[in-house]
Amino acid sequence: MAGWFKRLLHKPKPRSVESSLNTSHSSSSSPSSSSAESSSTSLTRSTRSSPVLVSDITASGSARWAKSYDVCICHSEVDLEVVEELVSYLEGQPESFRCFLQLRDAAPGSAVVTELCDAVQNSHCWVMLITPGFLQDPWCKYQMHQALAEAPMANGRTIPVLKDVDRKDYPKELRNLYYIYMKENSFRQIRDTVVRYLQDLCRSSMSTTE
């Protein structure tokens, strides 16, 4: 009787249990999609737990008001017509974006270099309208370099927009950034990118004050 009981205690584990253990071991020993999904789900939940609404962006205490402008449009003078359309679109949105348009907003009598630098430093985002005219204009390149120096990691602040330019001519300084190709819904894409940056800015500001 004692021998039978001893054999029972040393009976091998059921196959289903071994299979379960093996499965568990293999999923944890590799950078599996399940762990990636888990962290992705966690990140999504974290983001959703503290959403930032458009109303938060426009609130009086928003971090948005720390700078004079939401968007600085970097462009060549030959592209002024399309730039004025973009500015009209952005300023007419419910968020009432504050745009810096050089020919309209630069102080008369001020040095060009000073105005360009101030526009970059006092704006949250910079839209680079990259056209053949932009590529040939030294002031456009100067302002582009100023923006990159202001925020080397970009983080959504620099928004390249290509118009009538081949991909091979895309400035090498911006090649680590995704760009928007000018087409029918480009203005909407630009608006959404600016909103996303301002939402991240407000979320970051809220988390540091909590």
Q: What pLDDT, on a 0 to 100 scale, did the predictor assign at position 40? A: 36
Q: What pLDDT, on a 0 to 100 scale, did the predictor assign at position 204? A: 82
For 75-114, how does the pLDDT look when each residue is reduced to its tens digit (9 = 90+)?
999 999 999 999 999 999 999 999 999 989 998 999 999 9
d(CA 79, CA 129): 8
Q: What pLDDT, on a 0 to 100 scale, did the predictor assign at position 208? A: 63
Q: Which of 77, 79, 99, 80 is nearest to 89 (CA)?
A: 99
For 104-139, how does the pLDDT look when each residue is reduced to its tens digit (9 = 90+)?
999 899 999 999 999 999 999 999 999 999 999 999
d(CA 208, CA 183): 38
Domain residue spans of the chain: 69-204
Q: What pLDDT, on a 0 to 100 scale, did the predictor assign at position 128? A: 97
Per the confidence metrics, is the pTM higher than 0.95?
A: no
List residues bridging with 128 in a β-sheet.
74, 160
Top-confidence residue, 115 or 47: 115
CATH number assigned to the domain with residue range 69-204, chosen from the 4 options 3.90.850.10, 3.90.79.10, 3.40.50.10140, 3.40.720.10: 3.40.50.10140
Q: What pLDDT, on a 0 to 100 scale, did the predictor assign at position 16? A: 42
Q: Which of 207, 202, 210, 203 is nearest to 60 (CA)?
A: 202
Alpha carbon distances (Å) from 109 to 73, 77, 80, 115, 146: 20, 18, 21, 10, 21
Residue 52 pLDDT level (bands cut at 50, 70, 90): low
∠ CA(99), CA(175), CA(115), 5° rounding? 30
- Provide the residue count of the chain: 210
For 168-189, how does the pLDDT look when each residue is reduced to its tens digit (9 = 90+)?
999 999 988 999 999 989 999 9
